[in-house]
Amino acid sequence: MNIILENNGAFDSGSAIKIPSFARTPDLEPSKRQDQYIGYGAAILFGAIHCAAWTFVFPSTVERVLWRVASLVVTCAPLCFAFMAHLRELGDGYLPDPWDKYLIGLILVFGYVVGLAYISARVTLIVLPFLALRDLPAAAFENVAWTSVIPHI
């Protein structure tokens, strides 16, 4: 057993065995691949929630089509990212040297294109609900008589 001594106001830990504050065991933690697939699944679920508004009423046909395309992109882009990650893992060491570089280049280019489409689809899904506020039904502007709803003494 080692003791940490104080030497002129500073702790001397030269010979002490240190135990980290947050000791981690690799057996209990998921692998990086599992973490990625959980993230992809959450992103797909996020897109599927937006696909639930497929048959909703929109102010215009353009907005309805934009919502549908953006929700499909947000749903399918994580599938593409998962496929690219899986393809990248399969490509390591199995392909000859020039084809491996071509595969990596193709994955990077496709990843950038899908990433930009995903970002623009997310922005579209943020902007469209605010644009829909301009065409509210007339019932949204009616005054509610709260005094008739809330019981009084």
Task: Provide the residue ranges of all domains of the chain, joining segments of one domain with +.
Answer: 30-135
Model pLDDT, residue 147: 79
Task: Kindly state the percentage of the chain with pLDDT values over 70.
Answer: 75
6, containing H or E segment? strand 5-7
User: Residues 115-139: what's their mean pLDDT?
Assistant: 93
89, containing H or E segment? helix 61-91
Whether the pLDDT of residue 4 is over 60: the answer is no
12 CB-near residues (< 8 Å, 6+ apart)? 4, 5, 6
Model pLDDT, residue 35: 82
User: Residues 96-117: what's their mean pLDDT?
Assistant: 86
Q: Are 79 and 114 in contact (CB under 8 A)?
A: no
Residue bearing the bigger pLDDT, 148 or 110: 110
Model pLDDT, residue 100: 75
- Distance CA(118)–CA(78), nearest Å, equals 9
Model pLDDT, residue 29: 57
Mean of the per-residue pLDDT values of the chain? 81
pTM of the model as a whole: 0.69
Reported as a pLDDT band with limits 50, 70 and 90, residue 14 is low
Q: Residue for token digits 């502007």?
A: 141
Give pLDDT tens digits for 20-73.
555 555 565 556 777 888 889 999 999 999 999 999 989 999 999 999 999 999
What residue type is 21 in one-letter code?
A: S
Residue 111 to residues 30, 78, 89, 120, Cα–Cα distance (Å)? 25, 11, 15, 14
Residue 132 to residues 5, 46, 135, 140, Cα–Cα distance (Å)? 68, 20, 6, 13
Task: Kindly state the percentage of the chain with pLDDT values over 90.
Answer: 40
Model pLDDT, residue 60: 93
User: b/e for 15-53, b at 16 or more Cβ within 10 A?
Assistant: eeeeeeeeeeeeeeeeeeeeebbeebeebbeebeebeeb
